[in-house]
Amino acid sequence: MARTIDWVDDAVELIDQTRLPQDEVVLRITQVDDLIDAISRLAVRGAPALGVAGAFGVVLAARAHAPATDPDTFGVEVARLRNARPTAVNLARGVDLAVTAAADGPDGALAAARALRDDEVAASWSMSAYGADLAEELVGGAVRAMTVCNTGGLAAVERGTALGVIEELHERGRLVEALPIETRPLLQGGRLTTWELGRIGAPHRLLVDSAGPFILSRGGADLVVAGADRIAVDGATANKIGTFSLALAARYAGVPFVIVAPESTVDPGTATGDEIEIEDRGPAEVISVRDTPIALPGTDALNPAFDVTPADLITAIVTDRRVIRLDRGETLASVPLGERRAGDRAGGAVN
């Protein structure tokens, strides 16, 4: 699948994920306001993709308000980009990386953003290989893999994190089926993950969110793989709401629960999962489904976009440079960084 976000002819181009699976619409964005809107309404989402979007957004800001001659306005635009979504650490990191490079002007910011894009692509291919190896080791045979939200190329420019592992297993002939849960309230699993699984030809069946734990308890899956938007120093991970429920169910069922995310998602500034800010997106998404009301007008709702899974529920964390076996007492501090695994299409800028 082609890159789902990129810099093309002086603009950010990205697939509008809010329109999938019915319509494949590519947005062409030349203004910071439009990119912030795309981030806020989840037209672009997923930790690695958000980092790349933030970096490209700095390029737009630097072209409109040169840091050397209009630093105040540039700073305001950068802050708006950085804070568009608070939980995913990659967004802030992508912005900060490009801001530093913008000291050499917009071209410097663009070079840094492109390098980040290529780095995330290479990371995705490496995670896929490390994760598939671990899955085969943990399961000892063909794999029935449950997953939550969307963690494929849509979330990571190419390939993906947790869904990248499932794709790798499929390519190796080791995937029995993928079992995505629909992921209310915005149905990223139902809308996006099934779309990606269909495009790669992987066998899959969609589950409602509440069925996931029960299916695990009855031996219906061999492995749960999930992504992360932030990983704390203690190994706790923030991911799409519903991940914690699957981790609890996996522990009850004796099923390995594996987090797959790039090293860029590890936040040394967040000591524990309790420190992770959880975005609440308001009641509108809960009381309606794609603009169709399912509750009476005025109904209030809690809508945390993410939850936090503590380290003691996680079997392993897979990144692009290492596998941390938390179930064996390993920690982020105790496992050194290793080499990336190269994929057939890893890295390499095309424009």
What is the band of 343 on the pLDDT scale with cuts at 50, 70, 90? low
Query: What's the whole-number average pLDDT of the chain?
Result: 94
- Does residue 29 carry a pLDDT above 70? yes
Q: C-alpha dihedral over 157, 194, 179, 328, to 10 degrees?
A: 10
Mean pLDDT calculated for residue range 26-42: 96
Q: What is the pLDDT of residues 40-56, one digit of tens each?
A: 999 999 889 999 999 99
Question: Tokens in use for 266?
Answer: 């590890």
pLDDT tens per residue, range 210-233: 999 999 999 999 999 999 999 999
Neighbours of 262 (CB within 10 A): 26
Give the mean pLDDT of 75-103.
91
Exposed, middle or buried by CB within 10 Å (0-12, 13-18, 19+), for 200? Answer: middle
Position 345 scores a pLDDT of: 53
Among 141, 91, 140, CA closest to 120:
91
344 pLDDT above the threshold of 70: no
Query: What is the third-level CATH fold of 129-328?
Result: Rossmann fold (3.40.50)
Give the residue range(s) of CATH 3.40.50.10470 domains in the chain.
129-328
Question: Residues of CATH 1.20.120.420 domain(s) within the chain?
Answer: 5-119
Q: What is the pTM of this model?
A: 0.91
Is residue 229 flagged as an active site residue?
yes
Of 118, 209, 222, 229, which residue is the catalytic one? 229
Phi-psi domain of 302 (left: phi exceeds 0; alpha: psi -120 through 50; beta: other):
beta
State the pLDDT at residue 58. Answer: 97
What fold characterizes domain 5-119? Four Helix Bundle (Hemerythrin (Met), subunit A) (1.20.120)
